[in-house]
Amino acid sequence: MFFNKKKEVKKTFNRELEKTKESFFSRLRNLFLRKSKLDRDFIDHIEDILLSSDIGTKTTVKIIRNLEKRVQKEKYKNTQEIYKFLKEEIESLFIEIKNERLERKIKNEKKPYVIMMVGVNGVGKTTTVGKLAFLLKKKGFNVIIGAADTFRAAAINQLEIWADIANVPLIKQHMHADPASVAYDTLQSAKSKNIDVVLVDTAGRLQNRMRLMEELSKMSRVMKKIIPESPHETMLVLDSSTGQNAFEQVKKFTYFVKVSSLILTKLEGTAKGGVVIGIMDQFKIPIKYLGIGEKIQDLKEFDGKTFIDSFFSYPQEIYD
């Protein structure tokens, strides 16, 4: 059963990373087939390929510096050895970050376990709340959703639809209601009904960082009146297709809220999947899930090793 699940996850990553791999490996393959000599020009080309995959400048520089040190130390004689090194180097970035499974964290904490969902408008945050509610209920948890993004009528309506599909209760108020009040009502309801998990949707406006910071801080203070440890988890939802813009969003949110984990959406439609590697390296924040489609079941647990294996599933001719 375990191996079947791992196999299915690998298939999912292979499918959803197809556009990124096409971009990354078409250039990498051409480089390896064109050049057999390991020289400065070869390393410069690798650097260009990493940058074009949206891995990010800092992470790319780190990889290239480590590559140069290793070449000098181990005296590589051919280009094929470099491919293996690239995979090993990127794998090491994921090994550094502890990524405890959400279900285990929920079981180890006193109920209810409160998750605050944050992210800018348009990244798929509200949709992800519905998907996560469905996934957790499927795993046997009782879930409740709080519609605390009261600045958009669409967000409340959207959550109602997802809550119905997932068959979980939704706490809501009218548009422009105080988000902290919605969070308060949601936690009160969760506590009285012995709910396992609370998902609180929040507004995604970044036009005024100070106002958003104050709003999220107020929600956190109000929730602590009901459950002192809450929120147990603050999940930041990012759109993979935005590439380097995703880095900026992590910077802005981590500036005023303690982000404990990430969810990346829209990975299946982008050639910028390398952004996963850069974000993991620069911010040391674990990625919990990937959103890979429009259906309610299209939220998959993230596994770093499986992701890297899929990212580096190489064309055979590189080693031929």
Query: Of 295 and 1, which is predicted with more confidence?
Result: 295
- Chain centre distance of CA 71: 33
Does position 233 have pLDDT exceeding 80, yes or no? yes
Q: How many of the other CB atoms lie within 10 Å of CB of 152? A: 15
For 135-158, write each residue's pLDDT tens digit.
999 999 999 999 999 988 888 999
- Say which range, 25-39, 238-252, 273-287, has the weakest mean pLDDT: 25-39
Does position 319 have pLDDT exceeding 50, yes or no? no
Residue 172's pLDDT band (boundaries 50, 70, 90)?
A: very high
- Say which range, 141-150, 175-184, 286-295, has the weakest mean pLDDT: 286-295
- Residue 140 confidence (pLDDT): 95
| Domain residue ranges in the chain | 2-97+309-318, 102-301
Looking at residues 30-48, what average pLDDT do you find? 77
Residue 194's pLDDT band (boundaries 50, 70, 90)?
A: very high
Does position 77 have pLDDT exceeding 80, yes or no? no
Q: Which residues contact 89 (CB under 8 A, 6 or more apart)?
A: 63, 66, 67
Residue 84's pLDDT band (boundaries 50, 70, 90)?
A: confident
What are the backbone dihedrals phi and psi of residue 271, each rounded to the nearest 5 degrees, phi first?
-95, 10
Instruction: Give the bridge partners for 41, in sequence order.
Output: none
Does position 160 have pLDDT exceeding 90, yes or no? yes
Looking at residues 1-22, what average pLDDT do you find? 58
> Any idea how long the chain is?
320
Query: Of 7 and 283, which is predicted with more confidence?
Result: 283
Query: Of 104 and 27, which is predicted with more confidence?
Result: 104
Cis peptide bond upstream of 112, omega within 30? yes
CATH topology of domain 102-301: Rossmann fold (3.40.50)
- Residue 73 confidence (pLDDT): 79
Residue 6's pLDDT band (boundaries 50, 70, 90)?
A: low
Residue 268's pLDDT band (boundaries 50, 70, 90)?
A: low
Check if the beta carbon of residue 171 is closer than 8 Å to that of residue 185: yes
Q: Which of 28-32, 118-122, 230-234 has the highest mean pLDDT?
A: 230-234
Superfamily of domain 2-97+309-318: SRP54, nucleotide-binding domain (1.20.120.140)
Residue 9's pLDDT band (boundaries 50, 70, 90)?
A: low
- Residue 8 confidence (pLDDT): 61
- Residue 81 confidence (pLDDT): 75
Token readout for 152 is 């958009």
* Token pair 């480089």: residue: 31
Strands (E), 36-105: none
Does position 109 have pLDDT exceeding 70, yes or no? yes
Token readout for 226 is 């009901």
- Give whole-number Cα distances, 31 to 43, 56, 87, 215, in Å: 10, 20, 16, 50
- Residue 39 confidence (pLDDT): 74
Indicate the average pLDDT of the chain: 83
Does position 23 have pLDDT exceeding 70, yes or no? no
Token readout for 148 is 């605390």
